[in-house]
Structure 1
């Protein structure tokens, strides 16, 4: 039985990974967390260990005391402090005797230096990748594209915060960047976690492990939404110029959203820039799908139909 340490395992992506891994008898899961222990039906299936990401020596001791072979980081990288936490964890993993493998926190698109003008926070992810390249740790960067969950929420099992990107199935409206024909590769979070579970069984890891459940455009999402919801959607198109200027239209958001108006504008503009830069359009030759034939990935039509068919 391989012992897997999940850093940030109480967060949205981390808890999804913990949920899937703890249902496989081949893995024992240790959740590394900055918080005091949390108790729920998922985390109770794992061992929770409170750690201090500012103290590399204590991280080494935690990894060794729990005999952790592989670290999966799901630390949300929103700040330099978050980045330092992950970098310290990588340094500790390199020095910890039992630790041989590391999956850094990415779970989006293939992040490269040329994309920094679109999203300066990419530097935080590149810093981790560059540090891993300087170690003896085996590592891979998991790339699922956009999370498909967003267009089925709140009627789908998901730990993500409910946000609207582009197409709002609830209000039957859409705000589309450009002409709406940019392809968006996407994967359901639980399918990504199942992919990670299978990755752990493979001896050879490539730098990027790209998995794509489906690929659609915003225009196709609108068409699907109209078909499933049985009504025409109100669609607004934001020009590339508006997107570049950050003068974007924010689609309707759920009442529970925890962002300010300014933050929603910033987030919408960022995602729109990335979509127009085609970062979510993954050619077949970079995808790992063919190497995992037993992995059953849900398609957008299936997820959206199951979530929204018959809803008022």
Structure 2
């Protein structure tokens, strides 16, 4: 299939590497040329993300997948333009919006504010257009590559407690009693699953992917055991996390607000994907794919260099 990927950030790199391996002709939609895409021999189509331009750029594509994580109204505008372009093209009738998140199907009330404000208008538009464009939302919890230090993953570090593992300082932030669950799914395995789903016609509204579900205490034990040396464990109460959100709101910086709100998820069930639904969908849609657990990711990192 001829598939367009919107965006050229950290997450997209796993998609650009994996899609050609599954036989898909892959096209990048990007505002500016990217060297890593040239190195991968990926066709780059420069776009301003207007409906008119996207309609032209997507005219010969079978589907578009977004890995864009813009802020505020920009995120909504780009995705609505992608949807409208799909509706106007005769061929590109499949779209996967940029979600890659926790269990918004079961726990929509726990969704972070920044995410709800930027994703819900897109979900509403997708539902309202009925069957003109086929779509699904991927729910995968956290990407398990975050258990690796910088240099072994494409993702950048998350500061201000947005992710509990700080490899540089060797500090682990424990959310409350650490018993809340978190599903960790590899971004690379997610890209492989999306590539396989393109071969199917029977998409569901939500697609659940689950590598492994652990608690934060479990994750702390894995990190301590596998990384060697001492780690400082910093306990953070829910009240502390709420205060950080309030302070970030006053500060006004997008990055601080996002990381503060991500931290709140560590006290809830939002990070846990529906394991039974993920199992059913895996058997139906991805029977020949293996979704790696945390230990497997770490084993792979230990056996070879570079990005995992």
Deviation at 1:243, TM superposition (A): 1.4
The corresponding residue for 1:13 is 11
CA distance in 2, matches of 1:247, 1:88: 31
CA deviation string 1:87-117 (max 9, x = no partner):
111111111111111100111123365235x
Picking from 117, 131, 143, the partner of 1:123 is: 117
Picking from 76, 79, 98, the partner of 2:72 is: 79
The corresponding residue for 2:53 is 58
Deviation at 1:242, TM superposition (A): 1.3
Deviation at 1:121, TM superposition (A): 3.1
SS in 2 for 1:184: strand
After TM superposition, the score normalised by the length of structure 1 is 0.84
The corresponding residue for 2:126 is 132
SS in 1 for 2:54: helix
SS in 2 for 1:77: coil
Counting matched residue pairs gives 289
After TM superposition, the score normalised by the length of structure 2 is 0.85
The corresponding residue for 1:300 is 294
CA deviation string 1:52-77 (max 9, x = no partner):
21x3122212211xx11111111113
Structure 1: which 5+ runs fail to align?
Answer: 249-259
Picking from 264, 271, 274, the partner of 1:280 is: 271
Tell me: higher relative CO, structure 1 or 2? Use CA pairs within 8 A at least 6 residues apart: 2
SS in 1 for 2:21: coil
Picking from 73, 83, 97, the partner of 1:90 is: 83
Q: Is the 8 A contact 1:18 1:42 kept in 2?
A: no
The corresponding residue for 1:253 is none
Task: Quickly say closer, same or farther: Cα 1:43–1:212, change in 2 above 3 A.
Answer: farther
SS in 2 for 1:163: coil
CA distance in 2, matches of 1:43, 1:106: 27
The corresponding residue for 2:100 is 107
The corresponding residue for 1:141 is 137
Deviation at 1:209, TM superposition (A): 0.8
Deviation at 1:38, TM superposition (A): 2.0
CA distance in 1, matches of 2:151, 2:218: 20
1:271 equivalenced with 2:262 (yes/no): yes
The corresponding residue for 1:208 is 206
Structure that is richer in helix per residue = 2
The corresponding residue for 1:28 is 25
Q: Is the 8 A contact 1:32 1:49 kept in 2?
A: yes
Picking from 197, 200, 208, the partner of 1:199 is: 197
Deviation at 1:49, TM superposition (A): 0.6
SS in 1 for 2:61: coil
Task: Quickly say closer, same or farther: Cα 1:167–1:90, change in 2 above 3 A.
Answer: same
Task: Quickly say closer, same or farther: Cα 1:6–1:264, change in 2 above 3 A.
Answer: closer
The corresponding residue for 1:188 is 186
SS in 1 for 2:172: strand
The runs of 4+ residues in structure 1 deviating greater than 6 Å are none
Map of 1:218-233 to 2, 5 A cutoff?
218-233=216-231
CA distance in 1, matches of 2:27, 2:88: 18
